[in-house]
Amino acid sequence: MTANPTGPPTDQLLYDIDGHIATLTFNRPDRMNTITTTMLGRLSEVLLEADADPEVRVIVITGSGKAWCAGLDIAAASAGEGIGGDGAATMSGEFDLRSAPPIVLNKIDTPTIAALNGGAAGYGMDLALGCDIRIASDRAKLSAAYTARGLVPESGGTWLLPRIVGWSTAAELLFTARTLTAEQALELGLVSEVVPAEALADRAMAVAAEVAANAPLAVRAAKRMMRHAMTEGLEDHVQRQYLALLPLFGTKDFREAMAAYMEKRPPNFEGS
């Protein structure tokens, strides 16, 4: 089933729902899936719509062609167009960073999987780091080439990267503007696994199906708890966990999980 979220449509970003899995596809293969202003706003809209859809239990983000997302459209920016092309417009608040895709990725409760079919660079690397799970094709690369372009990570990279790989490794990657192969990214824990390019789509969907098979309210709560744990102490977090458990005990899905366990059968969760 293909879904069409509200808002102006664009063929630069494709959106499809199959069962409980939504797939977002960057669709500018001729431009290495670089981000335009149209894609920027649309990506946030689609992520929020998927998060609000009770049928969607997991979101897979991938790219068409050889790249996942090679960052912002530098060619347009250098010509005075698109993101970064007009510093005055940007500084005046034309872009509301509170609704920027990396912020939205962090705020939504629906799990996200980056199926890295190719290079993720600059803004694209920030987006990939903002996903909950990253699965890479053996042809994928992660490029932290921000400082080589006279920039810092555009949206969240300096917050995300040290939390994923630690301060020293993050500093080395950012200060040297290094590009990592998929295997190097795996060694550093930037991706959870590397698979042959031809197997990436199937593997991403298999992991997504595993996620979607579990109780969606519990999965969403688990993501929320992990997000809060990044900024609060243990005692406060344990209190928050207890408050999250109470409503889950009263759900149909909890009762279904207990019944399925006793009857030694797979559970059938409804998200209620």
Verify that 97 and 222 share a domain, yes or no: no
Last residue of a domain, one of 192, 212, 232: 212
Residues 6+ apart with CB under 8 A from 72: 34, 35, 82, 83, 84, 122, 123, 154
User: In this model, does residue 41 exceed pLDDT 90?
Assistant: no
Better-scored residue on pLDDT, 95 or 204? 204
Phi, psi for 3 (deg, rounded to 5): -110, 150
Last residue of a domain, one of 212, 228, 249: 212
- Could you tell me the CATH number of the domain that includes residue 249? 1.10.12
User: In this model, does residue 91 exceed pLDDT 50?
Assistant: no
Verify that 69 and 198 share a domain, yes or no: yes
- The total number of structural domains in the chain stands at 2
- Could you tell me the CATH number of the domain that includes residue 197? 3.90.226.10
pLDDT recorded at residue 222: 96
31 pLDDT band (50/70/90 cuts)? very high
pLDDT recorded at residue 149: 79
pLDDT recorded at residue 181: 97
pLDDT recorded at residue 150: 81
Q: By three-state DSSP, how is residue 170 classified?
A: helix
Nearest to 60 by CA among 104, 103, 21: 21
What's the pLDDT tens digit per position in 194-231?
999 999 999 999 999 999 999 999 999 999 999 999 99
User: In this model, does residue 7 exceed pLDDT 90?
Assistant: no
Q: What CA–CA distance (Å, rounded) separates 224 from 220? A: 6
pLDDT recorded at residue 210: 97
What's the pLDDT tens digit per position in 173-204?
999 999 999 999 999 999 999 999 999 999 99
Beta strands 179-181 and 141-143 are antiparallel
pLDDT recorded at residue 96: 66
The whole-number average pLDDT for the span 260-264 is: 94
Helical (H) or strand (E) element with 142: strand 141-143
Domain that holds residue 189: 13-212
78 pLDDT band (50/70/90 cuts)? low
Mean of all residue pLDDT scores within the chain: 88
Q: Where are the beta strands (DSSP E) in 7-138?
A: 13-18, 21-26, 58-63, 67-69, 112-116, 119-121, 133-137
Beta strands 112-116 and 141-143 are unpaired
Give percent of the chain above pLDDT 90: 75
Task: Evaluate whether residue 174 is within a structural domain.
Answer: yes
The whole-number average pLDDT for the span 59-84 is: 78
User: Tokens 């997302």, residue?
Assistant: 69
Q: What angle do CA 17, 38, 177 make, to 5 degrees?
A: 95
End-to-end Cα, the chain, rounded Å:
22
User: In this model, does residue 86 exceed pLDDT 90?
Assistant: no
What's the pLDDT tens digit per position in 56-67?
999 999 999 999
Task: Evaluate whether residue 249 is within a structural domain.
Answer: yes
Verify that 145 and 249 share a domain, yes or no: no
Better-scored residue on pLDDT, 136 or 77? 136
Give percent of the chain above pLDDT 70: 88
The whole-number average pLDDT for the span 59-77 is: 87
77 pLDDT band (50/70/90 cuts)? low
The answer to whether 253 touches 268, Cβ cutoff 8 Å, is no
Verify that 79 and 138 share a domain, yes or no: yes
pLDDT recorded at residue 100: 86
Alpha-carbon dihedral sign for residues 129, 211, 218, 16: positive
For residue 91, give Cα distances in angstroms to 83, 87, 103, 130: 11, 6, 18, 24
Tokens representing 76 are: 């347009």
Q: Is 57 exposed, middle or buried (0-12, 13-18, 19+ CB in 10 A)?
A: buried
pLDDT recorded at residue 6: 45
Give the 3-state DSSP-derived string for 67-79, with helices as H, strands as E and coil as C: EEECCECHHHHHC
118-121 — which CB contacts under 8 Å span 24+ positions?
118/32, 118/63, 118/65, 118/66, 118/67, 118/68, 119/32, 119/66, 119/67, 119/68, 119/70, 119/143, 120/67, 120/68, 120/69, 120/70, 121/69, 121/70, 121/71, 121/145, 121/179
Lowest mean pLDDT among 19-33, 73-87, 252-266: 73-87
